[in-house]
Amino acid sequence: MRIENQPKGWNENKTNDSWAIFKIMGEFVNGFEKLSRIGPCVSIFGSARTKPDHKLYKLASSIAQKIVDNGYGVITGGGPGIMEAANKGAHLAGGTSVGLNIDLPFEQHDNPYIDSDKSINFDYFFVRKVMFVKYSQGFVVMPGGFGTLDELFEAITLIQTHKIDKFPIILVGREFWQDLMGWIRKTLLEGYSNISDLDVDLIHLVDTEDEVLEVLNNFYAEYNLSPNF
């Protein structure tokens, strides 16, 4: 039976939606196959707009080198800014340097410090975020914008709801993050009781490379390294 006043192109869109499933499946299969071989890694997030002469760029690179020196690889979003800095640090330290790149209309391109066999391109943000969460032993979150916050709160939510195993979430830069953490404690926790003390305890606030490694090493002195779900 034909539906009257059906929007133009309706059936064509339904067909395209069905075929998109295979493209999504292909991204998952490619990601799982490549990332299942990388070994324990830590994801580093932050702004794509941070310039190479900025102190945060240099800090991200130094953090990545320390992470590699302690036996982990590094995963980033594959682009410029903090992502490039982290891949650069991992590359300079001779460690695994992974880039999960995504096609965006601005400011995103592969950086040159990703291992040639570990650069993966995605069209879908949700597939890319699954890869970050599944194959990361921790999140190191540098100052960034909406994308950085999205990845941060995605991980917190999945751990809070026990959809994935707990892993350390480390915010680097007290000056940048302290107002957000203050709002979380004062408003979400104390004011409205929308979260618990345990939820806040998931997050560690630090300033230095050594503090990042202290959080990671203390956590994995107690827990085993493994995929997160």
pLDDT value of position 229: 58
Q: Hey, what domains does the chain have and what are their CATH numbers? A: 10-220 (3.40.50.450)
How sure is the predictor about 18, in pLDDT bands with cuts at 50, 70 and 90? confident
CA distances to 39, 73, 101, 126, 193 from 114, rounded to whole Å, are: 16, 11, 10, 21, 43
pLDDT in tens, 159-197: 999 999 999 999 999 999 999 999 999 999 999 999 999
Q: DSSP strand E in 118-200: where?
A: 119-122, 139-141, 169-172
Per residue in 101-156, pLDDT (tens digit) is 998 776 567 899 999 999 999 999 999 999 999 999 999 999 999 999 999 999 99
In the predicted structure, residue 36 carries a pLDDT above the cut 90: yes
Q: How many residues does the chain have?
A: 229
